[in-house]
Each structure stands twice: as C-alpha cells, then as structure tokens.
Chains A and B, each alone.
Chain A
C-alpha cells in the first residue's frame, strides 16, 4: 500500500473510531462517581484476607491467575530478547574503553547503589502493606544496580552483575510463582488459592501467600530487567558488526 493511501485509510478509520468512541463515552458511568461495585467488593475481600494493600491483594490473591499470565508474558519477552540479541557469527566483540567519571559522581554512586538496592528489597517485602510490591520493587532493584554503570563504567557493572545467576533466577522466579499455586491444590482448594495462615492485619507477615508471591515476582522482575538491559548494553557497548565498523564501541 502506498504511503498516501495508508494515511487516507488511517483518517477514515480515525473518524469512525472517534465518532463511535465518543458516543460510547456518553454511556459510561460518570467520571468520579462514588458507585464502584468491583472496588467495594475487592476492598472487602482484601480486608477479609488481612492484606492492607488492596492492589496487591487483587494481583496476588483475588486474581493471582491473571498475574501468572502476566509474568509469563514478562518471562517470554525476556527470553525472546535474549534470543534476538545473541551474538551472530559475523560480529566481533570489542573491549569497551573506560570513560572519565567525576570523583563526586563516583562517590555518590558508591553511597547510592547499596541504598537503592535496600529500598528495592524494602518495597518488595512491604508489598502487602504499602504502595509497592514485586513489580515495582524488582524494577528498583534492577535500576539501582545500573547506577554502577553511570557512576563508574561498564567493566564495574559487569563485575557486580552475575549474569549467569540472574538468568537462572529469572526462570526460578517465574517457576516459583507457578509452583506456589500448587499449595492451594495440596491444601484441597483451588490453584493459586490463598491457603497460608493470614497473620495479623498490618504486620509484615500478613496476607498469607501474598508476600511469597510478591517475592517471587520481585526476583523475576529484578533479574529479568537486568538481563534485558545487559543484552541491550552489550549490543551498544561491545558488539561491533563486521560490515560497517565504527558503530558501537565506547563506554
């Protein structure tokens, strides 16, 4: 299809979409309305399960099966990226040069890397109590590690990043989530049903299965994002294609 035909087709479809969507919007419940049947039920169910963070309760207890699907997509995407970005036969792997970093940046990085990693662990561990959880904490863990790349250089990042272990722990996190679901079956309930003792509301040990599932997702997301960024950094920093040397390289 030619370019102009494609744009004409887009405008035709856009007008139809805009009209139908605008019409559909007039039939929706009013913005900011107080009546939310699902919300009321989800909050009640979450309090019954002694989980203070209702979003975590929805993700890891009430609709844990959806989260299993979600983290399977996550796992598959990481796997697909690794496969796509593997080194081809005609590519050379160069040695990255060290860049110049200000001493103050280096010092700040030295202080901030452990602090950020600690924050990540805190966010994962308190997922059933306060805003946060495995997904958010995992991303903080992964980005915190990459502060070493900003504050020092690529070789330092490579040294503190056990990529083979992280590859395995990504799969381990995904597998642990699926395996924890079996606890419900063993206890005579349904798959991914919350069967552990629920604990005291507002305590770190509350929520039954929720903190464990949070931890599994935290491990998976953290290692998955590090592995993803490792593949991309590798392409940008180390790999030099044989056909057109010059691109790639540097710190």
Chain B
C-alpha cells in the first residue's frame, strides 16, 4: 500500500482544520493550526523518501550512496522555522486579546473595540 503515507498527510491536515473550526479557545486553535501545518512535513518527507536512502550528507559516506531527496528536506526545514515563528506571533495576539477582551473564546469576540 504505497498511497497510505500520502493519505496520512491529508488526514492530519483535516484533523487540524476540524480542530480550528470547532475550537472554543484561541490557544487551542493556534495549536490546531500547527497540527494542520505539520501535515505538510509528512507530505514533503513522503514525497522525498527513497527506499533504502540515507540522509543526504556526504561527509563520511561514499559519494555514490543512495540518499533521500534533499530538496524536500530543505523545504521542510523552511516550513518548521516559519511555522514556529508564526505560531509565536499568533500566541502573542492571543495574549493581547485575553488582556483587552477578557476572553479567549473566538465566538465571544464580536464587537470591535478601540
């Protein structure tokens, strides 16, 4: 069953989005966004996997060794860094919302406040 790893990525994505849609807490929603985003790691690493491949480093491995795809690994690295900092930014927003409105329930945030 070679399609299963791809489907796993899709399932993780949907689980994250479901969490965001049903969330009653902004911090929980940010966590769910991180889950949805982590599906892209699974997808990227699945795309780049080579059967019998090792990590793409040639410091002390022979140059002809079969490695996994380094391009998608670089993309996953980008994804991790950007994801972490954007999560931090969203959590900072959550702190400010809690301070200004006294709630972290997205449904309770209705009116604008100057």
Contacts and interface: CB of A to CB of B under 8 A. Distances in A.
A57 B21 CA distance: 39
Given A25-B3, A26-B3, A232-B91, A3 B56 contact: no
Given A70-B81, A74-B82, A135-B77, A52 B71 contact: no
Nearest to A46: B70
Interface secondary structure of A, over-half rule: helix
Interface residues of B, number: 49
Contact of B69 (A36, A67, A88): A36
Nearest to A88: B99
A14 B17 contact: yes
Interface string A1-17: 00100110010001001
Interface string B1-26: 01111110010001001100110000
A6 B21 contact: yes
Nearest to B18: A10
A99 interface: no
A55 B66 contact: no
Contacts of B88: 77-78, 81, 228, 232
Contact of B89 (A52, A55, A84): A84
B104 to A, nearest CB: 13
A36 B2 contact: no
Contacts of A31: 2-6, 46, 49
A28 B56 CA distance: 23
Contact of A224 (B17, B85, B92): B85
A221 B88 CA distance: 13
Interface in B70-100: 70-71, 73-74, 77-78, 80-82, 85-86, 88-89, 91-93, 95-96, 99
A39 B69 contact: yes
A80 to B, nearest CB: 5
B88 to A, nearest CB: 5
Contacts of A74: 81-82, 85
Given A43-B67, A67-B78, A77-B82, 13 more contacts: A28-B3, A32-B49, A33-B50, A77-B86, A84-B93, A85-B92, A130-B57, A131-B55, A202-B59, A224-B85, A232-B92, A243-B102, A244-B102
